[in-house]
Structure 1
């Protein structure tokens, strides 16, 4: 898959803010967003089920891609993930991307019926699951006898067209290696990492890709940037990006030039979500080309 620069928004699956979800997605599309993502934390009682929401968002938008940010494999087996993704790709006319990971905070997942009680096996399962999902998107039935998954003549059909990109949310070495081996994109979040560690993380992805015979340059680097656009907050560019538009523009240029991210997902954490989206696409996005 040929990477391209994307600019989008991350929206909560909050039941309380449900009306704003629809308005915010349509507003982002109207303002030129390429992508709308929705957080996927089904174990949080205040949040709605993300895959149901994504189907609705795709039906009420016309151009933007939609993706979970990110779906926890521990709660959704590969065959059903493949089927759901293929269905959304088919019904949307090719506007779906599969954000995938082990889920977080992981400690809440076992209590919600997660398949593995510890994160180690969950990472190993993801390593097995991604190529299996891609096989299931093919035209032939799949029989698979793996460590974590067993399928017999399974076929999800119809094969998604175009192919669904898989973006992995990863931070630690083993997950970064999985990303390099299998993913079309890397989808980390600024709130959960130290910016100084990003070059080393990116190298780990590149090394794993090269070891797997893949071109590291084909892995899209998509950065979730949590923060607030406001003149009334102190300037920060570490685990949250906060400050006025000129501060955001300088920081995102640095993330692109210094850290290698070409695509950004704006994740507003304070203020009116719709106004934050308007500020991002009116005042910041035009300076990112």
Structure 2
């Protein structure tokens, strides 16, 4: 029996987005839930399976769904488990694919959320036709999907490509959610940018900024963006620092795999040239001469969440029945 649909799930640190996708890569219907609403993963999976059932009921029937693909933080493609994800409320090893499959009765496969975004870009977005590229997701954390010779890089254990956890500052580095200090994610994620804002406010007490009108612990990356767009110099400096850190890291990533492009995806990429200009300048300044001016820096071509949902859904066509 022909099964013309799959389901893609993007499990983010803040939201989980679910979409029903057809063979042309069209998202027919989608909805979301809050990822961190439940402290117990069983309660979260109950809500997620209810959402899946509701989407199917409003679109098609369960026997028309070929499979479910999920993109999750620290998702292991080989085992179907989420393993020690620092930005999720559930700790340890979670057999996510099996637990969800038991609830909904549809086969489930999963991969790292950034890998899913890379598959989405390669199939439907900015990386169409490319065989060597890196997708960097800038959200609650910093994720990466690395494609070499047209193949996603998984490594021997399924966890290759944790570029958000390269160590940028060994001395007095910030504590990262992974438990180490100095990781790129601690500086250049949306939460890292907000941490920079709080540091700047404390270290530069004489500089006037509209960010002082917000309680320091409540400042978000959106607040910094709004201030920068209004001409606030400190806010612009915060984006400059964040972009310079990313550019420094990107120069190292290029030396590893010589990608045709690095594609930025996720909430922080909405800052546009505020983040892109300092990234580009820093990347080229720190680049080995043989790589300079060869690597494209691009924003995702796909709408918010679509890349991860579409990329995850591609796994749904390959699951067993």
Q: What is the TM-score normalised by the length of structure 1?
A: 0.33
Q: Which has the larger radius of gyration?
A: 2
Higher relative contact order (CA 8 A, sep 6+): 2
